[in-house]
């Protein structure tokens, strides 16, 4: 069964360092998303991406964040200069079309900023 | 803005018993989708059940069913014949029509006890 895959599963980084989280969405999906879940808190929307551009972004998704789909399969989230409060689980999700509604999530990448 | 409220942070149920998880939401939209996602310790979020707001009939998926009350903006999840594998965090989520992000509740941690 096709699935969304994410790497790394866990990354530890020093404050101020750049981090890239990678996602491979399901191959025939067209809409891509990043969500974040701070430990013990709810899942929060970061950004959506369609047709090689950002469709929508939340207040959390400031200038330190960027996304791209460099090669037609990977979908990456970059944090330029990590802060302690960026420590969270980051989930990638994708879906084929908007009408079905269902998002398929990856297993998440845990980011720990020291 | 849409909000989703899950008023039960934690619940427990005996194996084979039935449990109901509550969810309420706030929206001015008429057409939308509602979801319950399960997040086991493996972290990946898995869709349990979905409901389209225009459908009056409550959705069911095997042991899982919902009680969708559109006027009351309520969307509870009933798990029948609870199994140990149902132990997980359950998130209620709302989505407007179109390429819009999921809005999650804070989650309910369900423990199924043998």
What's the whole-number mean pLDDT along residues B35-59? 90
The CATH number for B3-113, chosen from 3.30.470.20, 3.30.70.60, 2.60.40.10, 3.90.76.10, is 2.60.40.10
Cβ pair B46:A44 closer than 8 A: no
Say yes or no: domain A5-113 is CATH 3.30.70.20. no
Cβ pair A48:B99 closer than 8 A: yes
Answer yes or no: are the C-beta atoms of A31 and A95 closer than 8 Å.
yes
Contacts across the A-B interface (CB distance below 8 Å): 54
pLDDT higher than 80, residue A13: yes
Query: Where do the structural domains in chain A lie, given as residue ranges?
Result: 5-113
What is the DSSP annotation of A39-75? TTS-EEEEEEEETTEEEEE-TT--TTEEEE-SSSS-E
Report the residue from B46, B50, B91 with minimal CB separation from A43: B91
Report the residue from A55, A89, A104 with minimal CB separation from B99: A55
Question: What local confidence, expressed as pLDDT, does residue B9 receive?
Answer: 94
pLDDT higher than 90, residue A28: no
What's the whole-number mean pLDDT along residues B68-92? 96
Q: Which has more confidence, A66 or B99?
A: A66
Query: Where do the structural domains in chain B lie, given as residue ranges?
Result: 3-113
Question: What local confidence, expressed as pLDDT, does residue A102 receive?
Answer: 81
Bond prior to B64 in cis (omega within 30° of 0):
no
Give the number of other CB atoms < 10 A from CB of residue B105.
25
Using CB atoms within 10 Å of the CB of residue A30, give its burial: 0 to 12 exposed, 13 to 18 middle, 19+ buried.
Answer: middle
Which residues are paired to A49 by β-bridges?
A32, A54
B32, B52, B43, B55: which is closest to B89 by C-alpha? B43
| pLDDT (tens digit per residue) in A44-81 | 999 999 989 999 999 999 999 999 998 878 999 999 99
Report the residue from A31, A45, A105 with minimal CB separation from B45: A105
Question: What local confidence, expressed as pLDDT, does residue A101 receive?
Answer: 65
């Amino acid at each position: 069964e096709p699935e969304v895959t994410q790497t790394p599963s866990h990354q530890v980084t020093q404050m101020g360092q750049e981090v890239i989280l990678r996602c491979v969405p399901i191959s025939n999906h067209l809409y891509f998303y990043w969500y974040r879940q701070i430990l013990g808190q709810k899942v929060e929307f970061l950004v959506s991406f369609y047709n090689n551009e950002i469709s929508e972004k939340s207040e959390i998704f400031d200038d330190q964040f960027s996304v791209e789909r460099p090669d037609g399969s990977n979908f990456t989230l970059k944090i330029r200069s990590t802060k302690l409060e960026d420590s969270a689980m980051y989930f990638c999700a994708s879906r084929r079309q908007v009408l079905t509604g269902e998002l398929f999530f990856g297993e998440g990448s845990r980011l720990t900023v020291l | 803005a849409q909000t989703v409220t899950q008023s039960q942070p934690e619940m427990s149920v005996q194996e084979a018993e039935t449990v109901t998880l509550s969810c309420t939401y706030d929206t001015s939209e008429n057409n939308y989708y509602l979801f319950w996602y399960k997040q086991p310790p493996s972290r990946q979020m898995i869709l349990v059940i979905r409901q389209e707001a225009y459908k009056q009939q409550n959705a069911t998926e095997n042991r899982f069913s919902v009680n969708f009350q559109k006027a009351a903006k309520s969307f509870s999840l009933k798990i029948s014949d609870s199994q140990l594998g149902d132990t997980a965090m359950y998130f209620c989520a709302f989505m407007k029509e179109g390429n819009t992000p999921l809005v999650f509740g804070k989650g309910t941690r369900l423990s199924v006890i043998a």
